[in-house]
Chain A
Amino acid sequence: MKQVKGLRLLILGGLVAVVAAAFVIARTSGPDPVTTTGTRYAVTVTADRSAVDIRVDRGEADTVIVAAVMTTMGHAVPEVTARKAAPGHFVAEGDLFLMNGAWELSVRLAGRSGEETLTLNTLVTD
C-alpha cells in the first residue's frame, strides 16, 4: 500500500516538474538579431529594453537614426540618433521602448551610400 502511494507521488511529481519546466522554456524568448537588406544598405539590428545595436553589413553610413513604433498600441516615441561605436557599428540608447512587446523599428541611414530607411520588426524584452 505504501509502495503504491509512493509510486503515485513519484509519477505525479515527475509529470508536474516536466510539464512546468517545458512550459517555461517554451514561453521564454530573448531578443534575436534581425537582418534587413534594402537597395543601398543591409543592417543587423539587436534590440533590448535599453539599447538598439545596429551593425551595417553593407553600405557606408555616417548617421543612423532610429524611430520606434508599437503598432499594436499605436505608440510612437521620438527618434533617437545612434552613437557611432565603431565603423559600421551604431548604438541607439535612450527611452526608445515604453514597454515590452513587438516594436516596429525604422532605421534611417545616411552616408556615402546615400539615404535609405529600412523597416523591421523586433520583439523587445527585459
Chain B
Amino acid sequence: MIRLLCLVGLLVVLLASPAAAHDVKAGSDLRIAQTIAGAELTLVIKATTRVPGPLRVEVIGFPSAPTLDLRLRSVTDGRVVTGTVAPGRPAQLRVEETGPHELTVGAGGESAVIPFRVLVDRGSGWEFLIYGGLFVAGLLLVGGLLTGAFNRRGRSAFVVTAVAAAGLAVAALIVILDPWLPARSPDGAEPRPTDSVIGRPYVQRVVTMVPAAPAAGEEFVARVELFDGSTGRPVDDLTIHHEAMAHLVVTSEDGRYFRHVHPLRTAPGRLEVRLRADRPGRYLTYVELERTDSGGQLLTGSFTVTGSAKPTASSDPALQDAAATGTVTVTPAAPQAGRAATVEVATSGTPRPWLGMAGHLIVRGADGEFLGHVHEMGTPGSRLRFTFSFPAPGRYLAWAQYATDRGITTVPFTVEVPR
C-alpha cells in the first residue's frame, strides 16, 4: 500500500505544471520603473484581492516625480477610469473585472501604455477534496455511532468505519500533496497550457534616433523597436525584468556619457525615451529585457551625435581608475580574468532599494563589445559590495549606481585587468 501511495504521489509531482517564472500573480504588487518627463520613477500598481474593487496606484520618485495622469482601460470591455498620482498622493482607481488592462501614464507631453492583468486567486481547486473528505468522515462517524448502537452485526459498522477512514485519508493526503498539485490559474489569467514552459524566440531590434542624427545639446528620442526573430512580428510580451519592461544603457565610446533609463512603451513592440547628449561622437546602446517565459536578452546598437560640443555645468567628467576615486575598492587590486573580483563602493547616504536592489554595477569593455550588469547582494552599512569576474584581460569602464533620498548616484570608474 505504501508503495502504491508513493507511486501516486510521484505521478502527481511529475505531471504537475511548473510555476511560471515571471508572471504577475494575485497578491503581489507590480512595480515598473519609467523615465518620463525627465524624472526617474517607479510606478507601483498595488495587488488587488477583490474585483470589482479598488486598484491603488502609487509612484516613488528618485528623488522626485511629477504628477502623472492615469487612464486605466479594461481591454475586455473597454471601460475607462482616470485619475492622477504623485509621490505621497496615491491614485485610487476602480476595476470592474479581472483580465487584461492597459494603464496609460502621461506627464510632460510623454506617455506610456503599460499592459497588465488583474488576477484574483480562485484557491487551489483541491479544497473540495479536503472538505469533502472531512465532511464524509464526520457524517459517517455519526452514522457509525448510530449503527453501533442499534445494529449488533459488525459488518455495517465495518463498512461505515472504512469509508470514514477513507474520507479522512483523502483529506490528509491532499493537505500533504497540496504544494505539488497543479494549481488552478487565477481569474483573469492568460489562457495557456499547463505543460512545461519552452521559452520564446530571440528578439531582433531596430534602434533609431528621432531626429536620425541628433545634434549635441539638443533633446532627441531614442526609439527601440522589437521584432520576433521567427515571425517578424512586433514583440509585445515583455515581462517585468528587474522592475522594468526594459533597461536602456547609453554610453559614449569614451564612457564619459552614461545613462541608465527605462523607456516608455508607446506602441506594441516600441519603446521610447528622451535623451540629450552634450558632445558629438558615437554612442553605444544596450537594451536589457526579457520575454515572458524566457531568459534575459541584451540587444545592442549605436548612433551618432553631430554638431559641436555644448558643455554644461553638469557635463560628465572623464572616468578615472577605481583607486583614484577614493570611494571604490577593487579586490584584488589587479583582478585576474575569469576569477571573481570584489568591487566595494562607499556610499554617500543610506541606499534605498531601486529596481529591486540596493545597488547596481554596470561594466562595459573599453571597445563596447561586452556589457555586464551586476547586483549588490545585501551588504550591511553604507557600503555596496559586488562580485564580478572580468571575462578577459583589458580595460573596463564601470558605473556603480545606487539610490538615496537625494536621488540616484552614479559612480564611474575604470578597472584594468592585466594579461
Q: Which residues of chain A have a CB within 8 Å of any CB of chain B? A: 3, 6-8, 10-12, 14-16, 18-20, 22-23, 26-27, 29, 32, 34-39, 42, 58, 69, 71-76, 100-102, 119, 121-123
B12 within 8 Å of A (CB atoms): yes
Residue from the set B169, B200, B233 with the largest chain A CB neighbour count within 10 Å: B233
Given contacts A11-B166, A12-B1, A119-B268, contact A73 B191 (CB under 8 A): no
Instruction: Give the segment of B211-219, B224-232, B337-345, B373-381 that binds chain A.
Output: B224-232
Query: In the complex, A22→B8 CA distance in Å?
Result: 12
A7 touches B125 (CB 8 A): no
Closest to A121 in B: B190
Pairs A–B under 8 Å by Cβ, sample size 28: A7-B158, A7-B162, A8-B1, A10-B163, A11-B166, A12-B5, A14-B163, A15-B170, A16-B8, A19-B12, A19-B170, A23-B12, A23-B182, A27-B182, A27-B194, A36-B76, A37-B76, A37-B78, A42-B77, A71-B237, A72-B200, A73-B198, A74-B228, A76-B231, A76-B232, A102-B191, A102-B193, A123-B191
B78 touches A69 (CB 8 A): no
A32 touches B191 (CB 8 A): yes
The dominant DSSP class at the A interface is mixed
* Number of A-B residue pairs with CB-CB distance less than 8 Å in the complex they form: 110
Task: Tell me the smallest distance from the CB of B90 to a CB of chain A, in Å.
Answer: 27
In chain B, positions 179-204 with a C-beta closer than 8 Å to chain A are 181-182, 184, 190-194, 198-201
Closest to A16 in B: B8
A34 touches B200 (CB 8 A): no
In chain B, positions 88-139 with a C-beta closer than 8 Å to chain A are 100, 125-126, 129, 133
Q: Which residues of chain B have a CB within 8 Å of any CB of chain A? A: 1, 4-5, 8, 12, 15, 74-78, 100, 125-126, 129, 133, 158, 161-163, 165-166, 169-170, 173-174, 181-182, 184, 190-194, 198-201, 228-233, 236-237, 268, 293
Contacts of A12 in B (CB 8 A): 1, 4-5
Query: In the complex, A42→B74 CA distance in Å?
Result: 12
A74 touches B231 (CB 8 A): yes
A37 touches B77 (CB 8 A): yes
Query: In the complex, A7→B192 CA distance in Å?
Result: 42
Query: In the complex, A26→B127 CA distance in Å?
Result: 12
Contacts of A10 in B (CB 8 A): 162-163, 166
Query: In the complex, A125→B182 CA distance in Å?
Result: 19
Q: 19 more A-B contacts (CB under 8 A) besides A3-B158, A22-B126? A: A6-B158, A10-B162, A11-B162, A15-B8, A15-B166, A15-B170, A15-B173, A18-B170, A19-B170, A19-B174, A26-B125, A27-B182, A34-B191, A69-B228, A72-B200, A121-B190, A123-B191, A123-B192, A123-B193
Partner of A76, one of B74, B191, B233: B233
Contacts of B191 in A (CB 8 A): 32, 34, 102, 121-123
Contacts of A72 in B (CB 8 A): 198-200, 293
Query: In the complex, A20→B129 CA distance in Å?
Result: 12
Residue from the set A27, A42, A72, A102 with the largest chain B CB neighbour count within 10 Å: A72
- Per CB-CB distance, the 6 closest pairs between chain A and chain B, nearest first, are A74-B230, A37-B78, A123-B191, A14-B166, A74-B201, A76-B231
